[in-house]
Structure 1
Amino acid sequence: MEPLPSLEKIRSSASAQPLTDTLGSLLESSPVLSQTLVPQLHDKLQNLPSPLESYAQLIELAINQVRTWDKDLQAQFISGHPRIGETKNLSTFSAKEQGATHPTSTPTTPKVLARLAHLNAYYERRYPKLVYIIFVNGRSRAEIVRVLEDHLGLEHSLSIDGPSLDAAVPVEIGSQTWLGELDRAVIDVGLIAKSRLRSLGVD
């Protein structure tokens, strides 16, 4: 993986490319990141009264900016992260976090992957326009299955298709419950980014 651009380069460069590269790596590349977050944050960084103190500060500035957006844009932002259990087209960081490239990780069974796929679909029926984001923090996919079941109020199960998706009663978009789930996901994207910094030995 290429080293991150220096903080001074990110802050002072007339081009937004160093910022795009950094945020794309730490927060996952997406159209809303490159088209909305990067231009907004680049302008803000140009006018900072003092130098950036850390990459963690940059992440905090980015997440705080995202939280000022309308809710549809925020939902697009979190959708830039892959679903838990996805195995294809993952960034280097996501592959490591999901155990796809770690040499000592225990391979995830097809049944666990199928269960995760069903739970993701159930979650997305429960919370329209949202995808399930969580700071994995070293937990295996099998452990995340139990975390997601608890989050959805479901019994622990090895079923790959139960309960039926029709049983997922949608939460109203814009309701307090939906907004709380969206905000939790945005915050967790920031936690994931800071964990990525630690894996690089920077802060």
Structure 2
Amino acid sequence: MSHAAPTTLPPIAELNTASATVQDLATAVTLLFEPAPPLVERLFAKRPFSSYGQLIDETEALITDPAKAGFTEAEVLEIINAHPRIGAAKANLSALSLIEQGYKKPEEAAAAAAQQTQQQVSQEDEKTQADLKRLNQEYEAKYGFKFIVFVNGRPRSAIVPVMEERIRDSTVEQEKKTALLDMCHIARDRLKKLNVE
């Protein structure tokens, strides 16, 4: 199911007013972190924020020790699982996730087609897609939640070895910490791309 995320953030001052609602904050949090109601509830209680950077810093402080922040295990999993699967169908991704996961914009796809045949691109994309689907299943079977990584402009094919290594060499607790911290890296990157203070 596709979730419609906003494409702009309201001024942070609007979220600090007495008339601001939890839903107002949820709209901003969805753009930065994907929909995560337990996170929104904790952040709403932490207002006011001087900037979106401070909101992200506060989020990182909350999730660095989720038990201390009062999150239940189910809430931690809900926050992690709010992110789409890497390699998910385009229809299931927010506008920012599409870009982050390396789906090409139409003009970029046309330029790439001029350099390679469509068949080569298609075969490569199909193999990457199949690998990501398989690895998502393996990861979720082992750890019980979705794989999250800060893609940081890498092609989806470059994520395959990262997933393989984390499936092979990590633990549930390490993966939870990595997922939560990478969510903050993703949010900071999104904020920078939105050019908002």
Does TM, scored on the shorter chain, surpass 0.5? yes
Which of 89, 94, 118 lines up with 2:134 in the alignment?
118
- 2:132 is aligned with what amino acid? L
1:143, 1:123 → 2: CA distance?
A: 17
- The answer for the alignment partner of 1:162 in structure 2 is none
Q: What 5-or-longer segments of structure 1 have no aligned partner?
A: 155-170, 172-176
Is 1:199 the counterpart of 2:193? The answer is yes
Matches for 1:51-70 after TM superposition, within 5 Å: 52-66=49-63, 67=66, 68=69, 69-70=71-72
Which of 158, 161, 167 lines up with 1:146 in the alignment?
161
Deviation of 1:112 after TM superposition, in Å, equals 0.8
- The answer for the alignment partner of 2:97 in structure 1 is 94
Deviation of 1:13 after TM superposition, in Å, equals 4.1
2:175, 2:13 → 1: CA distance?
A: 35
Cα 1:16–1:9 shift into 2, 3 Å: same
2:156, 2:186 → 1: CA distance?
A: 16
Q: Spell out, residue by residue over 1:67-99, the C-alpha distance to the aligned partner (whole angstroms, 9 max, x if none).
A: 221222111111010111112321011011112
- The answer for the alignment partner of 1:74 in structure 2 is 76
SS at match of 1:104: helix
- The answer for the alignment partner of 1:41 in structure 2 is 43
- 2:108 is aligned with what amino acid? T
- The answer for the alignment partner of 2:30 in structure 1 is 24
Matches for 1:155-194 after TM superposition, within 5 Å: 177-194=171-188
Is 1:9 the counterpart of 2:14? The answer is yes
Runs of at least 4 residues of structure 1 off by over 6 A?
none
Structural RMSD (CA):
2.1
TM-score by length of 2: 0.78
TM-score by length of 1: 0.76
Deviation of 1:190 after TM superposition, in Å, equals 0.8
- 1:185 is aligned with what amino acid? A
**Partners of 2:7 and 2:95 within 8 A in 1:** no
- 1:83 is aligned with what amino acid? R
- 1:91 is aligned with what amino acid? S
Q: What is the aligned residue count?
A: 172
Cα 1:2–1:178 shift into 2, 3 Å: closer
Deviation of 1:17 after TM superposition, in Å, equals 2.9
Q: What 5-or-longer segments of structure 2 have no aligned partner?
A: 1-5, 113-120
